[in-house]
Amino acid sequence: MRRHKIIDSIIDSGLILEGSYIIVGISGGPDSLCLLHSLAQIADSYDLTLIPVHVNHKLRAEADEEADNVARMCDKLGLDVESFEVNCEDVAREMKVSTEEAGRHIRYEIFDDVARDIEDQGVQREKIMIAVAHNADDQSETVLFRILRGTGVHGLAGIPVVRPSEAGYMIIRPLLFVPRADIEQYIKDNKLHPNMDATNEGTDYTRNKIRNELIPYLEKNYNPNIRQALRRFAMIAEMDDALLSDAAFSAADGHMIVDNDSRRVILDISDLRDNPPSIVSRVAGYILQSLRIEMNSSYELMSAIMNLIYSDNPSASLDLPDGFRAYREYDTVIFAGDDDEIRIKPDDSIRMFPQVLMRKDFHPDEDMMYAAFDFDLFNKEYPGRVGELQMRTRQEGDYIPMKRGRKKIQDLLVDSKVMKNARDSILMVAIDNEVLWILPSKYFKGRQEQEKGRFSPKYHITDATERVLLIEIAENI
């Protein structure tokens, strides 16, 4: 018997790699059943391990019956389904999103959990994939939906064939180039009995109206090949999107600090603003994605973020979804949660090692972070007190000697455009209120201060120096 063209299409996609463990999202509908059944046909020849995963969202009366039907389908294929139940309406209320968006979030979170369990059993991460059943018609409908809603080039690119999940596992869509009509024919040819969701045939949701009303109208009155035209449009947009995304990542390189644990992003906009808005807006979009609030993004929100970045106002803030805020301080924008969360803490992983050396023995390790001063000049000012040197953050009354006079540390940090939230993270070596060395920090604007810090000239080493006060900074063991 000749192999079905859908199976050929899946093989030709290049997405299926030998020896893979494939988590298959299965609702039991025609698309997901076609995907699981076709993968099962090539499982032996490709040495695939298939893990069907069904999520019961508890949204419809027949949901439990459909879950049982999925279990029977999988059993016929010799597969054990992993079933999960989640009250989607409760999650939607908690996330303040639609039940459709909440369901999507739940499914992919569960897929990641299953993938982690497989990896914990010793399977290499690279061999684990998550397969979902979006088809070519889904792509057409998604592109048209986004056009109607208003979107940029990234949205016009439609559904990606491959993308990483939030946990970093590869999500693949083997049916993305397969029309729905071919899937329906596959179901008939193989005498399969999928779950049929009656809500897909209604017009209660925008996507259903596009599928059941708008696209048929466009096919009849404007372009009988509108679905293919929309898919071609998405492919062209995807190429442009890839180019712009690469340019945005290059522009943001070295200008963005992403703290995934505390969900905070710090963006240096001093040079970034030299790029065109098309690039900067993509950087902003990536930040919203990193904070996991991109689902609540909008044209108005993106415009407000762009205004914050390009504005001449050096101090402003903006409310973001889910209780986040964006703070502008000079040439830095902080994207974070509430005020307590965004205050940056000093590095507690390092410690100071002071020592006194004869000048002839002074050969510092250039790979170390260090500062060197004339010990005899220091000892004259603070006799016998070298042991009282401290590495700490700023205190009231702190100052650093200058070539002429002295400067308050507060004034120096302001003049150096260190943002308020980072000023208490700057470490310095001091005795009493006199600062000898302000340690380097990425929150300074000047390259010298970022790499070396700021040194007091008061105890500068000269040709007359006999003994050296060497202060090295190393990891706290």
The tens digit of pLDDT for each residue in 410-441 reads 999 988 878 777 889 999 999 999 999 999 99
Cβ-contact 164, 128 below 8 angstroms: no
- The predicted pLDDT at position 1 comes to 47
Look at domain 5-229 and name its CATH class. Answer: alpha beta
- The predicted pLDDT at position 203 comes to 46
**What is the arithmetic mean of pLDDT over 95-122?**
89
Helix (H) or strand (E) holding 435: strand 434-438
Same CATH fold assignment for domains 5-229 and 254-342:
no
The tens digit of pLDDT for each residue in 203-230 reads 456 788 999 999 999 999 999 999 999 9
Given the candidates 2.60.40.10, 3.40.50.620, 3.30.465.60, 3.40.50.300, the CATH classification of the domain at 254-342 is 3.30.465.60
- The predicted pLDDT at position 205 comes to 67
**What is the arithmetic mean of pLDDT over 108-123?**
95
**What is the arithmetic mean of pLDDT over 242-255?**
89
Query: Quick one: angle between helices 180-189 and 5-12, nearest 10?
Result: 130
- The predicted pLDDT at position 295 comes to 63
**What is the arithmetic mean of pLDDT over 439-459?**
88
Length of the chain: 477
The domain segmentation of the chain, as residue ranges, is: 5-229, 254-342, 350-475
The tens digit of pLDDT for each residue in 139-191 reads 999 999 988 877 778 888 889 999 999 889 999 999 999 999 999 999 999 99
In sequence order, which residues have a C-beta less than 8 Å from that of residue 303 and are 6 or more positions away?
none
Which of 243-247, 330-334, 443-447 is predicted least confidently?
443-447
pLDDT band at 394 (very low <50, low <70, confident <90, very high): very high
Token couple for 285: 């979009």
- The predicted pLDDT at position 340 comes to 44
The tens digit of pLDDT for each residue in 297-322 reads 677 888 889 998 988 887 788 888 87
- The predicted pLDDT at position 386 comes to 94
- The predicted pLDDT at position 370 comes to 94
The tens digit of pLDDT for each residue in 72-101 reads 999 999 999 999 988 888 888 887 777 888
- The predicted pLDDT at position 37 comes to 96
| Residue % of the chain over a pLDDT of 70 | 95
Cβ-contact 141, 176 below 8 angstroms: no
In sequence order, which residues have a C-beta less than 8 Å from that of residue 53 and are 6 or more positions away?
23, 24, 25, 26, 81, 82, 83, 84, 110, 111, 114
The tens digit of pLDDT for each residue in 26-50 reads 999 999 999 999 999 999 999 999 9
For residue 286, the Cα-to-chain-centroid distance in whole angstroms is 7
Token couple for 313: 């106002």
Which of 15-19, 95-99, 184-188, 364-368 is predicted least confidently?
95-99
Q: In what order do the strands lie in the sheet with 82-85?
A: 82-85, 49-56, 21-25, 128-131, 170-172, 162-164
Nearest CA among 96, 125, 111 for reference residue 165:
111
pLDDT band at 199 (very low <50, low <70, confident <90, very high): low
pTM of the shown model = 0.66
> Cβ of 145: how many Cβ atoms within 10 Å?
18
- The predicted pLDDT at position 373 comes to 96
Inform me whether the pLDDT recorded for 202 exceeds 60.
no
- The predicted pLDDT at position 116 comes to 96
pLDDT band at 477 (very low <50, low <70, confident <90, very high): low
**What is the arithmetic mean of pLDDT over 127-131?**
97
